[in-house]
Chains A and B, each alone.
Chain A
Amino acid sequence: DIQMTQSPASLSASLGETVTIECLASEDIYSNLAWYQQKPGKSPQLLIYDATSLQDGVPSRFSGSESGTQYSLEINSLQSEDAATYFCQQHHDYPWTFGGGTKLELK
């Protein structure tokens, strides 16, 4: 199975700041990576697909990038509604696997 190592597990940031969350794949997943946002008590929502493409309706302050097997989610100009847990997911090979999640708290 492809392992997705996500970091950090949690972070705290202030409104207006920029944060970066990373996922390291255990092997090449050829940009087949998605990012999801999950707010407490809610279902996950797709933010980014194919590593860098923004899902329709997602604010442009969210962006994805990649470097080899390292994938990153950047959130610019943090807003209060961005407080959530974020997950990466590879969809290169079954079983689809997720990162452990990053809980983002706003100061």
Chain B
Amino acid sequence: EVQLVESGGGLVQPGRSMKFSCAASGFTFSNYGMAWVRQAPTKGLEWVATISYDGSSTYYRDSVKGRFTMSRDNAKSTLYLQMNSLRSEDTATYYCTREVGVLDYWGQGVMVTVSS
């Protein structure tokens, strides 16, 4: 059974940093691209970033370029998202997803609140 379990998240002040992780199981992690998708409270879905199966390529939405870094450790089947210079508009639930073009499996999500 495919499982994606995020950890981390919480309350952080504007301008500060946060990093969370996503532990994958139930599939060969190193064979798949992965993505982060976020959802602001009561809002729709917004793709954030994608990383290729081997970590050699990453793609980011413009609003997070230069601030967020997505990475992976295939030996540990773990995905990471390092978020710097956080803004109030980054407040959202962040979902770890397996990406095969479409997003076929989703984690339960981790909430990040950026507020002073």
**Residues of chain A whose beta carbon lies under 8 Å from any beta carbon of chain B:** 32, 34, 36, 43-46, 49-50, 55, 87, 89, 91, 94-101
Which residues in chain B, 41-100, are within 8 Å of chain A measured between CB atoms? 44-47, 50, 59, 61-62, 95
Main secondary structure of the interface of A (DSSP, over half): loop
Candidates A45, A55, A91, A98; contact of B45 at CB < 8 Å: A98
Cβ contact within 8 Å between A49 and B109 = no
CB of B17 to closest CB in A, whole Å: 23
- Given A43-B107, A44-B106, check contact A98 B101 (CB 8 Å): no
* Given A49-B102, A94-B47, A98-B47, 16 more pairs with CB closer than 8 A: A34-B103, A43-B95, A43-B107, A44-B95, A44-B103, A46-B104, A49-B101, A55-B104, A87-B45, A95-B47, A95-B59, A96-B35, A96-B50, A97-B47, A100-B44, A101-B44
Cβ contact within 8 Å between A34 and B102 = yes
Residues of B close to A44: CB separation below 8 A: 45, 95, 103, 106
5 pairs, A vs B, C-beta closer than 8 Å: A34-B103, A46-B103, A49-B102, A50-B102, A87-B44
Q: Which residue of B lies closest to A49 (CB)?
A: B102
Alpha-carbon distance between A43 and B95 when the two chains are bound, in angstroms = 8
Alpha-carbon distance between A101 and B61 when the two chains are bound, in angstroms = 20
CB of B59 to closest CB in A, whole Å: 5
Cβ contact within 8 Å between B104 and A96 = no
CB of B43 to closest CB in A, whole Å: 9
